[in-house]
Structures are given as structure tokens and as C-alpha cells.
Amino acid sequence: MLKRLIVIVTAATLFSSSLTLAETKKPKPPDKFPPSPLEITTPDPLLPRLPKNKQPLTLEEQQNLEPALDALNQEAAAKLQAGDQVAAFEIWNRELRLRRFLGSSLEVQALSRVGAIAWKQNDSQEVQYITQRLQAIQKQVQSQKKTAQIDLELWRSLGQAYQNVRSPKLALEAYDQVLLVVRQQKSTTVLVEILKTIGELNLSWFDYRKAAPIYEELLGLATSVGDRVNELTYLQRLAEIYEQTNQPQQSLNVLNKLAEIYVNENNLTEIPELKLAIASNYESLAKKDPNLLLEAFKNYQEAYTTAWQLQEYVRAGEALQKLIALYRSQGQTDEALQASEILVQIQTQAANFYGLMQAYDQIGQLYLERKEFPQAVTAFQKGLELAHQLKHQEAYFTGQIEKVSKANL
């Protein structure tokens, strides 16, 4: 019995000791993120000595290193073309590690080049490494005081590099720095170039709110020098922006300027679509100011009239449909009927049988509202004839005819 007790105590002691040992020697958690290959500090045969105290390489050392790095770039490109993506980026990462010894400007250009390739190859990890390195350079640049020209070129390179790795927020931060310098230099040509880059970048990521003031400024610059081509481009951009951001008054200001330019240039082909957009904006604003409905009616009518003159029957039909809907919303059934009869002519002219069938349906519904049942039946019967031809909505028109016929008894 005593011997058995000793065995139990000994076993318990051993278990307790092993538990204590396990607690004191916990395994280290694995690294969540592998170290960036761009931060490896192992000596490289192409760099015989590491520059001390952050001193740059001598001119001779740079002249020896640069062609060797160009050769690495070509070697990596050949590997990628041969289908060995892993080896290609290993070589490119070696090139990028060494490029930093040639100065920030050349390094950023190389990071930009390889970043574009990494994005195209869908190598998200490589894109992350390059983005991190670009951010480190940006932080370094921000902490240093350099001349405006050097800052400008480097910030522009950073902006382009961030674009290549699809980091729009970081790209815009870089271009904002460029914009500050350019405004101080008062160079209109460069200012326009940078503003266009910022505007297009915002639009490409659907940030319409931030794009709006950029294109307003570009419009002002173009107008001030009589640059009609770019004035039209910026007005079109602003029209899109204000439509997307649901700003009808700002949209109207832009669309009316566009319409004025097109009329002055006798470019009537653009007018129907513009007038439709103008009318739609007036209709939106009329919810707060009913007096503006007259402007909506007027512009829908102008859209229809111009489209008819240009024989753009589809656009003319679209304008009439909008006009009819507006008449009906205001209880103007007679006017809606007149416009619907014209719509029949337009859809016939355009050989749009589906649109013609819908027009007859619309006329039938309007006659129903006026309780003029025989006329409604006639309209639905014409719609049914077209439905048979199209093999579409036959049951609907048959049902409408039966319903109206019973109501007429």
C-alpha cells in the first residue's frame, strides 16, 4: 500500500513539473507576415561596400552599378516571359534593393515600374511590399527639407507609382503635395496637367464630390484663355459629376452652358439629349418650386422638336414619353392624349413596333381615365394586333379589352 502511494505521488510530481515546464517554455507564435524582400540587408556582390553614414555612392560606383541593375531588370523580364514568375520577382526585388543606393528618385521610378508589373500579374504580396517601401520613402521625404524642384519631381514620381499599385488615396496625397508646389510656381501649363491628373484619378475611383471642384477650376482656366475644346470637355465631365451626385441646380448651370455652345456652333445633334437632361433637372427642382415645371415642359418639347427635325426618332419618342408622363402627373389628360397620338406617328416612322404597342396601351389607359370606353377599346385592339405580331403581352391586351367591354355595358 505504501509503495503504491509513493508511485502515485511521484507521478503527480512529474506531471506538475512537466506542466510548469510547458508553461515556462511556450512556443513562439509564427510570424504573421514574412519580412519584406526589399528590406534584406545581406551584402550583395554588385555592391562591394555599404555606404557609411548614409553617404551616397561615388559617381564611379553609380556608373558601375546602374548598368548592372538594368541588366537585372532585363533578366527578370526574360524570366517572366518564360513563365517563371517567382524567379522573375526575386531578381526584380534584388534590383529594387540596390536601386535605393542610386537615390530616391531612381528608386521610386523602379518601384513604379515593377509595381505595375506586379499588379498586372495579380501578385498582391509583391504589390504590398512595393507600397510599403513607397510609403517609407514618402515619410523620409516629408521629414527632409529639399528644394521645390526636387520635391516636385519626387512627389510626381510617388504619385505615379501609387497609381501603378492601385493606391488612389496615397496617390492623391502625393499629387496634393505636387499641387502645392505648382501653385507657388504659378505655371498654368503644369497646374492644368496636375489638376487633370487629380480629377481623372478621383473620377476613376468614383469620388465625384472631390472631382467637382477640380473640374470647376479647370473649366475656369480653360474659359479664361478661350480654350473651347477643353472647355467643352470639362463641362461634360461636370455634367456627369453633378448627375451622379444628384445636384440638379449645378447640373443645370453646366448643361445650359453646353447647350448655348452647341447652338452657337450649330451642332444640333447634341441638343436633344441635353434638353432631356435639362428638363429632368427642372422637374426635380420643381418639387420645391412648382413654377419650374414650365421650364421642364418647355425643354421636353424642345428635345422632341429638335430630335424630330434631325430624324432621330428614338430620341424624339423618348422626349415625348417624358412629356406625356409629366402631363399625366399634372392631370392634363387632353395634352397627354395629343402627345400620345404624335408618339404613335413617331414610333411608326421609327418602325419601333414594341414602342408602338406601348403607345396604344398608353392611349387606352388615358381614354379609360376619361371614361371614354369605345375609344379605349379601339386603342387596346390596335395594341393587341401588334401583340400578336410580336407574340408578346397578348393575354394582357385581351384582358384589357374584356375589362373595358364589361365596363361599357
Q: pLDDT per residue over 254-294, tens digit each?
A: 999 999 999 999 999 999 999 999 999 999 999 999 999 99
Mean pLDDT of 298-309: 96
pLDDT band at 54 (very low <50, low <70, confident <90, very high): low
- End-to-end alpha carbon distance in the chain: 112
| Lowest model confidence (mean pLDDT) among 19-33, 111-125, 363-377 | 19-33
Q: What is the pLDDT of residue 120?
A: 97
Mean pLDDT of 29-39: 71
pLDDT over threshold 60, residue 21: no
Report the C-alpha gap between 190 and 119 in whole angstroms.
Answer: 29
pLDDT over threshold 70, residue 314: yes
Q: What is the pLDDT of residue 33?
A: 56
The amino acid occupying position 383 is G
150 vs 214, which has greater pLDDT? 214
Following CA atoms 146, 150, 155, 161 in sequence, which dihedral angle do they give, to the nearest 10 degrees? -130
Q: What is the pLDDT of residue 53?
A: 56
Q: What is the pLDDT of residue 292?
A: 96
Q: What is the pLDDT of residue 51?
A: 67
Report the C-alpha gap between 190 and 110 in whole angstroms.
Answer: 24
**CB 254 within 8 Å of CB 235:** yes
The amino acid occupying position 105 is S
Side-chain half-sphere exposure of 374, counting CA atoms within 13 A? 0
Report the C-alpha gap between 307 and 270 in whole angstroms.
Answer: 10
Predicted TM-score (pTM) of this structure:
0.79
Specify the DSSP class assigned to residue 24. H
pLDDT over threshold 50, residue 103: yes
pLDDT band at 230 (very low <50, low <70, confident <90, very high): very high
Cell (9 digits) for 363: 392611349
Which residue, 404, 323, 301, 314, is CA-closest to 361? 404
> How do residues 329-345 score in pLDDT, each as one tens digit?
999 999 999 999 999 99
Mean pLDDT of 184-192: 91
**CB 258 within 8 Å of CB 232:** yes
Mean pLDDT of 11-37: 51
pLDDT band at 35 (very low <50, low <70, confident <90, very high): confident
The full DSSP string for 50-75 is PPGGGPPPPHHHHHHHHHHHHHHHHH
CA angle 202, 207, 208 (to 5 degrees): 100
Q: What is the pLDDT of residue 13?
A: 46
Q: What is the pLDDT of residue 149?
A: 54
Q: Would you tell me the crossing angle of helices 271-285 and 293-309 to the nearest 10 degrees?
A: 170
pLDDT over threshold 80, residue 409: no
pLDDT band at 23 (very low <50, low <70, confident <90, very high): very low
Average pLDDT, the chain: 89
pLDDT over threshold 70, residue 7: no
pLDDT over threshold 80, residue 49: no
Mean pLDDT of 295-299: 96
Q: What is the pLDDT of residue 56?
A: 77
- What is the sign of the dihedral through the CA atoms of 278, 280, 283 and 287? negative
pLDDT over threshold 50, residue 208: yes
Report the C-alpha gap between 2 and 308 in whole angstroms.
Answer: 114
118 alpha-carbon distance from chain centroid: 22
Which residue, 103, 95, 97, 108, is CA-closest to 67? 95
pLDDT over threshold 50, residue 167: yes
Cell (9 digits) for 249: 441646380
Which residues lie closer than 8 Å to 403 by C-beta, 6 or more apart? Answer: none
Mean pLDDT of 77-85: 97
> How far is the CA of 406 from the CAs of 262, 369, 387, in angstroms?
54, 16, 22
Side-chain half-sphere exposure of 281, counting CA atoms within 13 A? 23
- Please name the helix (run of DSSP H) or strand (run of DSSP E) that holds residue 374, with its range, or none: helix 373-390
Instruction: Quote helix, strand, coil % in the chain, to nearest 5.
Output: 80, 0, 20
Q: What is the pLDDT of residue 151?
A: 77
Q: What is the pLDDT of residue 146?
A: 54
Report the C-alpha gap between 123 and 237 in whole angstroms.
Answer: 34
